[in-house]
């Protein structure tokens, strides 16, 4: 089984990437959040991999963190949830938001994920309430990490980018409730010296 890949990012497509590892191109399906955090083509990337084996083939799913990969694997254990639906969940509810929704038993939020109705949402909550990996970061921290990753990929130093994000949070009053776009815009203004 493939547990991780480190290599050069060859291409990005809707929902998947190709990573070149010593001359072999691996096609990897990734959730939206991981896709947004990836650098430009030609740059080295590292992905945590879930290898899904079926009778008709092998498919790789890539994640930015080990925690996200574990959540994906746990979701696959729910009756009626396959890899495509599990990927939809992590694309729609990134950065610990899915785990928080399960802990709060928020069927309404889970039902907003494409492919999940109220019955499936209730089954996910029932089966996963005590099985999900511990949330190591709040949604606020996940948004901070995603914004930091984006700025580092743009060429800013990690310390400089972190300070700009904290300053942007104080200025906008955004505590990271999912508004990464606004946070990034404000942080970039600070980094580029624009008012």
CB atoms inside a 10 Å sphere around CB 178: 16
pLDDT of residue 101: 85
- Tens-digit pLDDT profile for the chain (195 aa)? 888 999 999 999 888 999 999 999 999 999 987 888 888 889 999 999 999 988 888 999 999 888 888 888 888 988 888 999 999 998 888 767 888 888 888 889 999 888 888 888 898 988 888 777 655 444 456 677 778 888 888 888 888 888 888 888 777 664 444 567 777 888 888 888 765
Q: Is the separation of the CB atoms in 131 and 74 below 8 Å?
A: yes
Separation CA 7–CA 136 (nearest Å)? 27
Let me know if 28 is exposed, middle or buried by CB neighbors in 10 A (0-12, 13-18, 19+).
buried
pLDDT of residue 141: 63
Q: Is the separation of the CB atoms in 17 and 38 below 8 Å?
A: yes
Q: Is the separation of the CB atoms in 93 and 32 below 8 Å?
A: no
Contacts 24+ apart (CB under 8 A), 147-150: 147/180, 147/183, 147/184, 147/187, 149/37, 149/64, 150/36, 150/37, 150/180, 150/184
- pTM summary value: 0.64
pLDDT tens for each residue of 134-176: 554 444 566 777 788 888 888 888 888 888 888 887 776 644 4
């Amino acid at each position: 089984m493939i547990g991780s890949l480190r290599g050069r990012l060859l291409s990005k497509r809707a929902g998947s990437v190709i990573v070149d590892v010593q001359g072999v191109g691996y096609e990897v399906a990734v959730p939206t959040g991981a896709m947004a955090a990836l650098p430009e083509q030609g740059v080295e990337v590292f992905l945590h991999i879930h290898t899904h084996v079926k009778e008709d083939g092998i498919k790789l799913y890539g994640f930015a963190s080990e925690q996200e990969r574990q959540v994906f694997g746990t979701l696959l254990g729910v009756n009626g949830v396959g890899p495509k639906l599990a990927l939809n969940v992590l694309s729609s509810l990134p950065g610990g938001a899915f785990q928080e929704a399960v802990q709060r038993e928020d069927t309404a939020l889970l039902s907003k994920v494409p492919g999940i109705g109220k019955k499936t949402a209730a089954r996910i909550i029932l089966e996963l309430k005590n099985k999900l990996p511990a949330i190591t970061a709040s949604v606020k921290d996940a948004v901070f990490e995603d914004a930091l990753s984006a700025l580092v990929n743009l060429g800013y130093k990690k310390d400089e980018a972190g300070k700009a994000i904290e300053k942007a949070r104080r200025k906008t009053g955004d505590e990271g409730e999912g508004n990464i776009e606004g946070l990034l815009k404000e942080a970039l203004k600070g980094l580029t010296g624009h008012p």
